Amino acid sequence: MAIDFEIPEHIIQQQQMVKYIADTTMRPFSRELDENEHARPKEYVEALWPLLSAQQASSLKKIKAKLEAEQNGETTEDKKKDRPSTQYLALMHMVEMLSWGDTGIYLCLPSAALGGSAIEAVGTPEQKIRLLSRFAEGDPVWGAMAMTEPNAGSDTSAIQTTADFDEESQEWILNGEKIFCTSGGLALEESDGLVIVWATIDRGAGRAGMKPFVVEAGTSGVKVVKEEIKHGIRASNTVAISFNDARIPADNILGSRDVQTKGGRGFKGAMATFDASRPLVAASAIGIARASVEFVIEKLAEEGIDIPYGAPYHKLTAVQRDVMEMEADLKAAYLLTMRSISLLDQKISNPLEASMAKVKAGKATTRITQKAVEILGMMGYTREWLIEKWMRDGRINSIYEGTDQINTLIVARRILGYSRSELA
Amino acid sequence: MVSFIPTEDQQLLIDTINRYATADIRKTAHEHDEKSEPDLDTIRKGWQIGLIPASIPETIGGFGEMSAVTSALASEELAFGELSTALHIMTPALFAYPLVLYGTEDQQAQYIEMFLDEDIAPATAALLEPGIGFDPHDMKTTATTNGDTVSLNGTKAFVPLAESAEVILVYAKDSESGDVSAYIVETSADGITIEKREQLLGIRALPTYRVNFTNVSVSATAKIAIDYPVILNRMRLGLASMAVGVARASHEYAVDYAKGRVQFGRAIAQNQSIAFMLAEGRIDIDAARLMIWEAAWKIDRGEEATREAVLAKQFADKMVLQVTDSGVQTLGGYGFIREYPAERWLRNGRGFPTFDGLTII
């Protein structure tokens, strides 16, 4: 190993393709979809679905082949690769570029998304094939994750949604309400998708009783009760879902149904998905920040203002200093994110690095986009340009997938060696 | 292939310097800061780790190669011990690195020997000039060519170890073309006046001087045809790495202190106000280091890295001030007492934005 920042050629090529998608199916529709909040990004979905469904088909094919081999009594060994995976590095750069295009539209990604991550992480091969096949063929389908409830935001252990097992019908019965579910409406009502719903099977057991359940479109007792109106990322479908005696098959629980009082894997499983999702949210934040910095530099250049890197501090204008600070913050966020992603690809535990990246990217993007509006003056404030929208879009990154405060708390606990009870 | 792991050789070097920084430099840092004098015994020991010979290729007598990444790693670790000592040990590099990178064979043959010696090489460089801010592209010191000789005129500031130096690499602007070059000047030459030792807020154990050059005549062969922007970028990264080292020293101390200091019946680190300050500091320390590594990696590949180096340096400048200030704040009253190191780290950290170009690492 050596310290190295070289992005592999296949990711650079992928970036050109993703940028084309951003330029043709996202940017031209940004304003229109922002002003018509609950409209859907058809062009984007049509452009991405063939690519994403083909990816899902190929991954399912491998799972099927492995399962069949095992059923025939053959031992399968994962092929040892010479070089570490670049799967997450590629994903990070794709998410960054799509968010550079438009973050609200990006979030309407027609794929299993976070729901898929949970199934991939904890599901059995049979569950993967049964639940994920819909994402590999036919019309566009969405997956989603429902964790947050009206009284359980950052404190996910406080969820109230219950799952009770009906021995007679061999079904789980879900009751409760989930809010702020990204693409939940697309998954349940506008396609044959699914939502991973976190519910407790034993209220007295706390975190250990929390389990992920797969709720498929068309399940009776499940209703999308509200589509939120938001500050930014308006093209993204954010919904509340109610569960009234919603019955799902016994096999739609992911992972064990035992309540483990110590080291309960249910809650830990939920937390582990953050190790991958937080760096990707950071990547998304960076996409908006980069779009904003590029736009500011372009507009300043049109006014004859350039950024003289290397000039002494006392010879820079305030605006030049601001822009350099924005660029530095963007670079800092990008590199912290790439570090956390690199650990993921090497399958090395990364919760500290993931939270560091998320905090930095969230704060940097919030500050960069707000500063961009300020630097561009009146025009920055108009809805003629997209910069005011990017400021609104950027703001979510300090909130979802763990607020800046929650992630700072995680960093603090890790560097101080404190448990949850020692540093609350 | 993206990776954030140093090579085994680099890790060995980091570990060696870390042991030296912790066991040797730290022990006498306070005493020598108070006395405003370098700890020459400790510095000699640090010199003998051989950082500079390790950057000189075998073909001209050294045992390694020039790497901006390796230099960044070494500089951070040295400054983790104490900034004055780190700058002192690396002062000869101000002369040696341009010599290795851009010197002619004759120049190298004549001057490389002193850098392979077991005593610190009596060599330094003069770049900065007096004033509130130094613009490397608006230099006042001139070099005027008259046939086979060059005449140097001007005043330089913050020249480290000038009094004990036998050779100084003087940066000057060609009075006709305006291009900046570096000139090898023996301190025995006529026309050199060491005006005064500068009295500084921090890095007190490192003697720096204001030096005047009036009609100092050197041979035309004393000129080193430097790639000035690259030299400036290497300087920026060397300093930025040291800023990370100083910040890390202060931060680690503050973390330990906050966990041990009990008020209202619990460690002060258990308060979010303290814990968050420390968490934010750690994030920026790591970010600065990654920015430096990226820029250094570009330099090692021979790529243009001015933007990256400038942004890394600026970020590190702000970071080190914030982190060392938090260090003082975490210690409360003890942060203000000189027997505790936090205030020294703040004084040292404050310097980074001001001494751009003091050293090349």
Distance in angstroms between the alpha carbons of the first and the last residue of chain A = 38
For residues A153 and A215, which has the higher predicted lDDT (pLDDT)?
A215
CB-nearest partner of A416 from B269, B306, B307: B269
- Contact between chains at A312 and B315 (C-beta distance less than 8 A): no
Q: Is residue A79 predicted with pLDDT exceeding 70?
A: no
By residue count, chain B amounts to 361
- Contact between chains at B1 and A8 (C-beta distance less than 8 A): yes
Q: What's the mean pLDDT when you consider all of chain A? A: 93
Output the CA–CA distances (angstroms, integers) from residue A25 to A50, A153, A232, B99, in the order listed: 14, 33, 19, 55
| Nearest chain A Cα distance for residue B114, angstroms | 31
What is the ipTM metric for this complex? 0.94
The model's pLDDT over A138-157, given as tens digits with 9 standing for 90+, comes to 999 999 999 999 999 988 88
Count CB-CB contacts under 10 A for residue A384.
9
Numbered ranges of CATH 1.20.140.10 in chain A:
265-416
Which residues in chain A are closer than 8 Å to B314, comparing Cβ atoms?
A: 324-325, 328
At A267 the pLDDT is 63
- Contact between chains at B288 and A332 (C-beta distance less than 8 A): yes
Which residues in chain A are closer than 8 Å to B240, comparing Cβ atoms?
A: none
Q: Is residue A345 predicted with pLDDT exceeding 70?
A: yes
> What is the percentage of chain B residues whose pLDDT exceeds 70?
98
- Contact between chains at B276 and A408 (C-beta distance less than 8 A): yes
CB-nearest partner of B283 from A6, A331, A360: A360
Numbered ranges of CATH 2.40.110.10 in chain A:
9-252
Which residues in chain A are closer than 8 Å to B279, comparing Cβ atoms?
A: 359, 408-409, 411-412, 415
CB of A65 within 8 Å of a chain B CB? The answer is no
CB of A312 within 8 Å of a chain B CB? The answer is yes
Q: Which residues contact B68 (CB under 8 A, 6 or more apart)?
A: B234, B237, B295, B296, B297, B299, B300
Q: What is the mean pLDDT of residues B330-359?
A: 88
Q: What is the mean pLDDT of residues B280-301?
A: 98
| Nearest chain B Cα distance for residue A39, angstroms | 39
Which residues in chain A are closer than 8 Å to B276, comparing Cβ atoms?
A: 408-409, 412
CATH 3.30.70.3040 fits B123-224, yes or no: no
In chain B, where the domains are located: 8-116, 123-224, 228-350
- Contact between chains at A314 and B3 (C-beta distance less than 8 A): no
Query: In CATH terms, are B123-224 and B228-350 the same topology?
Result: no
Instruction: Give CATH for domain B8-116.
Output: 1.10.540.10
Which residues in chain A are closer than 8 Å to B227, comparing Cβ atoms?
A: none
CATH 3.40.50.2300 fits A265-416, yes or no: no
Taking the CA atoms of A276, A279, A285 and A291 in sequence, report the sign of the dihedral they define. negative
- Contact between chains at B310 and A324 (C-beta distance less than 8 A): yes
Q: What is the mean pLDDT of residues B28-52?
A: 96
User: How big is the A-B interface in CB pairs under 8 Å?
Assistant: 142
At A206 the pLDDT is 80
Cα–Cα distance measured from residue A366 to residue A357, given in angstroms and rounded to the nearest whole number: 14
Residue of B nearest to A5 (CA): B2
Backbone angles phi, psi at B149, to 5 degrees: -120, 160
Which residues in chain A are closer than 8 Å to B282, comparing Cβ atoms?
A: 356, 411, 415
- Contact between chains at B278 and A5 (C-beta distance less than 8 A): no
CB-nearest partner of A416 from B255, B287, B290: B255
Residue of A nearest to B72 (CA): A3
Strands B180-186 and B223-224, how do they pair? antiparallel
Q: What is the mean pLDDT of residues A173-187?
A: 97
CB of A313 within 8 Å of a chain B CB? The answer is yes
Q: What is the mean pLDDT of residues A57-86?
A: 82
CB of A360 within 8 Å of a chain B CB? The answer is yes
Least confident of A9-13, A79-83, A400-404: A79-83
At B250 the pLDDT is 98
Q: Is residue A81 predicted with pLDDT exceeding 90?
A: no
Q: What is the mean pLDDT of residues A24-49?
A: 97
Which residues in chain A are closer than 8 Å to B294, comparing Cβ atoms?
A: 5, 331, 335
At A274 the pLDDT is 81
> What is the percentage of chain A residues whose pLDDT exceeds 70?
95
> What is the percentage of chain A residues whose pLDDT exceeds 90?
83
CATH number, domain B228-350, options 3.40.50.2000, 2.60.40.10, 1.20.140.10, 3.90.950.20: 1.20.140.10
CB of A130 within 8 Å of a chain B CB? The answer is no
Q: What is the mean pLDDT of residues B354-358?
A: 63
Which residues in chain A are closer than 8 Å to B270, comparing Cβ atoms?
A: 418, 422-423
| Nearest chain B Cα distance for residue A327, angstroms | 7
CB-nearest partner of A3 from B275, B284, B297: B297
| Nearest chain A Cα distance for residue B286, angstroms | 8
CB of A2 within 8 Å of a chain B CB? The answer is yes
Q: What is the mean pLDDT of residues A40-48?
A: 97
B125 strand-pairing partners: B169
Q: Is residue B359 predicted with pLDDT exceeding 80?
A: no
Helix/strand/coil (H/E/C) assignment for every residue in chain A: CCCECCCCHHHHHHHHHHHHHHHHHHHHHHHHHHHCCCCCCHHHHHHHHHHHHHHHHHHHHHHHHHHHHHHCCCCCCCCCCCCCCCHHHHHHHHHHHHHHHCHHHHCCCCCCHHHHHHHHHHCCHHHHHHHHHHHCCCCCCCEEEECCECCECCCHHHCCCEEEEECCCCEEEEEEEEEEEECHHHHHCCCCCEEEEEEECCHHHHHHHEEEEEEECCCCCEEEEEECCCCCCCCCCEEEEEEEEEEEEHHHECCCCCCCCCCCHHHHHHHHHHHHHHHHHHHHHHHHHHHHHHHHHHHHHHCCCCCCCCCCHHHCCHHHHHHHHHHHHHHHHHHHHHHHHHHHHCCCCCHHHHHHHHHHHHHHHHHHHHHHHHHCHHHHHCCCCCHHHHHHHHHHHHCCCCCHHHHHHHHHHHHHCCCCCCCC
Q: What's the mean pLDDT when you consider all of chain B? A: 95
* Contact in structure between B256 and B248 (CB atoms under 8 Å): no
Q: Is residue B358 predicted with pLDDT exceeding 60?
A: no
Residues of A serving a catalytic function are: 401
At B360 the pLDDT is 46
CATH number, domain A9-252, options 3.30.310.50, 2.40.110.10, 3.20.20.70, 1.10.10.10: 2.40.110.10
- Contact between chains at A6 and B1 (C-beta distance less than 8 A): yes
pLDDT band at A76 (very low <50, low <70, confident <90, very high): low
At A208 the pLDDT is 84
Q: Is residue A49 predicted with pLDDT exceeding 50?
A: yes
For residues A268 and A349, which has the higher predicted lDDT (pLDDT)?
A349
Q: Which residues contact A304 (CB under 8 A, 6 or more apart)?
A: none
Most confident of A152-156, A344-348, B293-297: B293-297
- Contact between chains at A423 and B133 (C-beta distance less than 8 A): no
